[in-house]
Every structure is written in C-alpha cells, then in structure tokens.
Structure 1
Amino acid sequence: MIFNHPLLTGLAASGLLLLASQSHAQCQEPPLPPGTLGYTACKDWPAQAGVQIRALATAPDNVTGEAQAGLFDLLVTLVDAGSQQVKASYTQTQAISSDAVAFDGLSVDTARYQVGEGVRAFGIRSHFSHESMYNPFASENLSLFVVQGQALRPLLSDLNVYQYGGESEGRCQGQFSTRKRTLAMATTRSHGFADLIVKTSVVKRQATQRGDQCLEKNSPPQVSQVTLRYDGQRYVVPQGLRDE
C-alpha cells in the first residue's frame, strides 16, 4: 500500500532515467531493470495533451522471483510524449506489500477526477489476487495524485474499489461475495477540494450443485454510501474502506 515516507533518491534517479529513455511518442510501459521483479503501466492523460502517465513498481530485494514475496517500490511520473522529459514525479519505497495475496499488476486511471477548480487528479490502481480453486480472491485499490510543481502529491491512498472472494468445494458449490465501489465528486467542498462520494455495492452469490447442473443465485445488491472530506492534506480513507 502507499505510505508517506521520504523520497528515495536512488530509486528516483534510476527510475526517472529509465522512464525518460523511451524514444517514441506512443505511450509505452517503462522498462523493468534487468533481473528485477515488477510491473509497469502507461497511459496518455486526456487532461493534458501530449502528457503520459507512467507507473513502475519494482521489488529490488526479491530473490525468489515469486510475485507474492517482497515489498514493491513505486515510481509514478508525468512524461512529455514529444521530448520524453519528466515533468513531475512521485516515488515511494516499500509502497506495495505482496504476501499471501499477491500483488500482480498496475493500471493508470484517467477518469475525470475534478477535485478542485482547475485541479484534476489521476489514479493508480494496484491489483491483487490469490489463485485458489477453494478460496478464490481478487482485490483492487485506488490511489489519487495531483500535480504540484515538479512533484506528484498523493491525495487519496489505497481506497479498496473491488474485492471478490468466497469458499468453494472446488467444482460448483460455494458462497461468494463481490464488492464494488465507485467514486464521484460532490458539489460540497472541504478546504477547497470537492468532497468524495464513495458508493459501495455488495452482491452475494450462492452456488448449488443439483445433479449435473450448477445453479447460482445472487442476492439483491446491498448499497451504502459514505463521504470522504479533504483535511487540507489528503482524503483520509477509514479502515472500513480498505482491504479486509
């Protein structure tokens, strides 16, 4: 997950060099250092023409080659697509933890997160999974960033926006739950930034084996809503809206 530690000079220097070395205007995922376990993502930013958002997560201390082992450092940059110059960056050591539930990828979210007048955020989504026939699990967290000079500042860290899990006997019979969250900008503001409306929908599914058929029944969605307010530094995510 993303924590507020000091910038790592070495990671920033090597990572920025790697990210800036791309020679094509087409958005390309930044390269991983040789022999390093990690994940990359890249996407053009509609809010700023000719600007690309690139993300790089690496586990430099991982010696097993297994995704579920280690802590991942995170580097996020805005890059000029033409000159390939880095316009702004954010780096964090040990930003993402990968253990029994393995961290298995990043993606860039360019939805219209208009958090303030003339201020638009973008998102980095981290993906996790546990591949099991009997206890399947998948999860996705969202963090939001804004540009502040030549730096990227995290506004929202690790809001859990998707979670799926359950217990199964392996072929059919079991109980499962899917939770999805959406984020919307409210008309009200706190400390100059829009309040965030987080809507949660939970659907439970029962699978039953009857003869040769696997019958599934979904419960009606359980919907709830909570408002997150900017405290002058960031949107604080309560424990109930994080991974469980």
Structure 2
Amino acid sequence: MKLQLALGAAALALMLPGQALADCDITDALLKQAYPGAQQGDNGLLVKGGGYDRAINPDDVVCKAWPYRPELMLAAVPLIEAKPPVEGENKGDVEIIIADVATGNPVARRLEKGMAFSDAIQFGSMSLDTARYDVGDGLRAFGLRTSQSGSSRVNPYDEQALWMYTFDKGRIERVLDGLIVERSNGENNGDCEGESTSVTRTVKLGPKVELGYRDLTVEQAITHGTSKKVGGECRFDKRPGKPAKFELIYDNGHYRPAAGVKPHGEKGDIETDLFSTIEIGAKP
C-alpha cells in the first residue's frame, strides 16, 4: 500500500508544471500557460491574432534550466506563419520566455519579430547557451544560437549565430545581435568545380570592469576551399586563411565592433558580415 501511494505521488509530481519544467518537458506546462488561447491544430498549437495566424510545433521549442538562476527556466518558442500565401516563404517570430520552475508561469517574455523568417535562406534549429557570460558585475547573459541554411545548390550557405540576452529588473534585453560564430558559403558550377569559405568564431569575456559591461573578445579562423575535377573525380583542397582577433564593446545597449578594429580575411579584405542575415523587426 505504501509503495502504491509512493508511486502515485511520484506520478502526480511528474504532472505538475514545476516538475515538467525542471525536466524540460514544457509541452503541457509552459506552452499552455504562455498561450492559454491557443488551439490544438494538425501540427501543434495554433495561435490566432496579430497580422497572421501562427503555429507552434512543440518539437521545435527549446528549453533549458538556467544554472545561474536555478529557480528559472529558459525557453525559446518559434511561432511560424500557419498558412503562408507564398510557397517557400514563411513569416515567423521567436519568443524568448523565462519561466518560474516552481509554478511554471512565465515571469518575462520578449518577442523577436521576424527571427524565424524563411525564404531562400531557411530558418533552422535553435539551442540555448548557458555558458558563464558574466558581462557585468552581478549580471550574467544567456545565449540563443540560431541556424540557417540556403536552398541553392550552386550558392550554398550555412550559418550559426549567437544572440545574447540579459535578464534584469524583470526585463529581457538583447545585447548581442546574432554574431555569426559559424558560416560556410561558396559558389560552384553544380558539378564539383567551385570555391568556398568557412569561418568560425569563438567568444570570450574581456577583463572585469568596475562599472558597465565587459568587452567581448572574438577570435576568428578562416578556411578557404577549392574543388575541381581531376581525372573524372572531384577533389577538394583546403588552405587556412589569416586568423583574426577583435573586440566587441558595449555601446548604447548592444555589443558592436570597437572603432577602427575589424577582422580581416585572407586577402586583407574586411569581413563585413559579422552578424546574422536575420533582421529582427524587418518582417511584419
């Protein structure tokens, strides 16, 4: 009898919002509380209102316990246009939610309009980054990593970007606007021959400061590739580019490249595409 009661209590605990969130199972907890008016659709939840109806596929939602604040859970919810009028083009937003683990209730929300927009460049998966981004005294940021990929075979494009957010005084603020941490792109003739470039960047915190935000140090590595047919076989050759290191400084609410400091490519050309092709707020 005692065993049955214990098993029953355990099963009940698994159904509670706080426990569901603790296990990162937010389908029946956070989503229902964050979107109480949502209707069950063919592929998840349907959220009506605004400029267009939006669908939430629970499998695409990401969440993660926040070690810095164990009483809180981080989540990112993609809201995709349910019935796009143009084939191959989808409007879409991402909502960043911080929830209370004990109750399952959202305590802060931020809607990133247009973050999940897709056309020739398709919005892909997301992941939450809870590294120790101690950007200020007693202020730790968390990261959201987004991926995108192009649909062109002759002009391939893949991108992973890092967005950083702070949570202070009940508000979520975006402080880093999608720094590209991985990118590969190129051009080919559709039959092996072509060129490509791969860029990887790592982000580290600069020295501590008494007031304000610490700088971000970015280290960049570039690899150039060429492919060509030799004797009927496609051969690929890689060569390292010139590495670079530069600083991002906090200015007027966002991290930006320090004045006069820009990463240079293999031929001395300036890498102008430091940030994601995603344009927050650009799509209605």
Query: TM-score w.r.t. structure 2 length?
Result: 0.69
RMSD: 2.9
More deviation, 93-102/138-147: 93-102
Counterpart-to-counterpart distance in 2, 1:133 and 1:203 = 20
Q: 1:107-158: CA deviations, max 9, x gaps? A: 2111221111221101112211113332221112221001112221111112
CA 1:92–1:237 in structure 2 vs 1: closer, same or farther (change >3 Å)?
farther
Give the aligned partner of residue 33 of structure 1.
Answer: 45
Count of residues in correspondence between the two structures: 224
Instruction: Say if 1:190 and 1:231, in contact at 8 Å, map to a contact too.
Output: no
Gaps of 5+ in 1: 1-19
1:192 aligns with 2:212: yes
Q: Which amino acid aligns with 1:69?
A: E
Give the aligned partner of residue 200 of structure 2.
Answer: 180
Instruction: From 229, 233, 251, give the equivalent of 1:231.
Output: 251
Counterpart-to-counterpart distance in 1, 2:191 and 2:72 = 47
Structure 2 counterparts to residues 192-231 of structure 1, below 5 A: 192-231=212-251
Counterpart-to-counterpart distance in 2, 1:190 and 1:169 = 55
Q: Secondary structure at the match of 1:33?
A: strand
Larger proportion of strand: 1
Counterpart-to-counterpart distance in 2, 1:232 and 1:22 = 37
Counterpart-to-counterpart distance in 2, 1:136 and 1:154 = 29
Gaps of 5+ in 2: 1-15, 32-43, 47-53, 259-271, 278-284
Q: Secondary structure at the match of 2:254?
A: coil
Give the aligned partner of residue 182 of structure 2.
Answer: 162
Q: 1:61-103: CA deviations, max 9, x gaps? A: 642596x523322211112334212232212333443221111
Counterpart-to-counterpart distance in 2, 1:48 and 1:37 = 27
Instruction: Say if 2:208 and 2:214, in contact at 8 Å, map to a contact too.
Output: yes
Instruction: Say if 1:37 and 1:60, in contact at 8 Å, map to a contact too.
Output: no
More deviation, 110-119/21-30: 21-30
Instruction: Say if 2:137 and 2:210, in contact at 8 Å, map to a contact too.
Output: no
Q: Which amino acid aligns with 1:47?
A: Y
Give the aligned partner of residue 7 of structure 1.
Answer: none
CA 1:33–1:118 in structure 2 vs 1: closer, same or farther (change >3 Å)?
same
Q: Which amino acid aligns with 2:67?
A: P
Q: 1:20-58: CA deviations, max 9, x gaps? A: 978613113555523726642112222222432100121
Query: TM-score w.r.t. structure 1 length?
Result: 0.79
Counterpart-to-counterpart distance in 1, 2:191 and 2:221 = 27
1:58 aligns with 2:70: no
Q: Which amino acid aligns with 2:126?
A: L
Instruction: Say if 2:80 and 2:116, in contact at 8 Å, map to a contact too.
Output: no
Q: 1:189-214: CA deviations, max 9, x gaps? A: 49511011122211111122222543
Q: Secondary structure at the match of 2:130?
A: strand
1:111 aligns with 2:108: no
CA 1:141–1:237 in structure 2 vs 1: closer, same or farther (change >3 Å)?
farther
Instruction: Say if 2:161 and 2:180, in contact at 8 Å, map to a contact too.
Output: yes
Counterpart-to-counterpart distance in 2, 1:61 and 1:157 = 26
Q: Which amino acid aligns with 1:44?
A: A
Q: Secondary structure at the match of 2:250?
A: coil
Instruction: Say if 1:62 and 1:69, in contact at 8 Å, map to a contact too.
Output: no
Counterpart-to-counterpart distance in 2, 1:29 and 1:129 = 27
Q: Secondary structure at the match of 2:215?
A: strand
Q: Percent identity?
A: 25
